[in-house]
Structure 1
């Protein structure tokens, strides 16, 4: 398996969540936790995707120590398109990014994924840092 491809659905019917949290099958990812991207902010939603690319970004950019992890998850309730991506960057939701106020159940860890190149990862970090410096990195939650 090579570097993830933008907008490519990992596997029809599966949802993914990238993080640094060490979780097990059956664990719940719940809202009302601190944001991985805005220090000190408690989020109203939990976020997930159908693309390996978006899940990989989540795993690589998540706050905390340790390695990034990607989990196959299943929503336990209603969910909607993630407006942070669909409204701001990619109308029509080609990233297949979603959010829910209900927990996500961890099905299993995906262990055979490959991260983005060091150059792509640094470019993303630089871009996020620039947005923060400009005051444009707020998450609509």
Structure 2
């Protein structure tokens, strides 16, 4: 289940499939489940109480590019097994109304496919995001409400 993307993702644009997406560096397979309680992709080894996902390719690409790990970024197509809610880290703090279509759940989420033909952000965009995140960390503002 792959999709071809000709250019870099656009912020706030829902992926053409309408599916839930999860960006990571973890090498997973269709049929695998993501469950809460595992090590977070962010925050230096913290355990995540939720599984996070989005319906925009842009947010999934950021997840794949910024996740901890040395492997290549990957974007999985996800099927939640229970209720999902808006991700308060994004919707309450940065983008009221949830234009990033960012969600989380305490239920298992099954991988049903992988997007393989996606384009990442430019090196300049990626460095600017990393610099911004490092600044938040230095100022003690890199809080994840999990």
Report the TM-score when normalising by structure 2.
0.94
Residues 11, 50 of structure 1: 8 Å contact kept = no
Q: For residues 54 and 137 of structure 2, what CA distance do their matches in structure 1 show?
A: 24
Partner of 2:51: 46
Give the CA deviation at 1:11: 2.2
1:101 alignment counterpart: 106
Give unpaired runs (5+ residues) of structure 2.
1-5
Match of 2:139 among 123, 134, 137: 134
Deviating runs (4+, > 4 A) in structure 1? none
Aligned residue number for residue 64 of structure 1 = 69
1:76 aligns to 2:81 (yes or no):
yes
Give the 3-state SS of the residue equivalent to 2:90 in structure 1. helix
Q: Is the 8 A contact 1:31 1:46 kept in 2?
A: yes
For the aligned residue pairs, the C-alpha RMSD in angstroms reads 0.8
TM-score, normalisation: structure 1:
0.98
Shift of 1:12: 4.7
Q: Which runs of 5+ in 1 are unaligned?
A: none
2:8 equivalent to 1:8: no
Distance 2:28 2:75 in 1: 10
Counterpart check, 1:28 vs 2:33 = yes
Distance 1:120 1:132 in 2: 18
2:39 and 2:132 mapped to 1: Cα distance? 22
C-alpha deviation, 1:24, in angstroms: 0.8
Partner of 2:91: 86
Cα offset, 1:33, TM superposition = 1.1
Q: Tell me how far 1:13 sits from its aligned partner.
A: 3.2
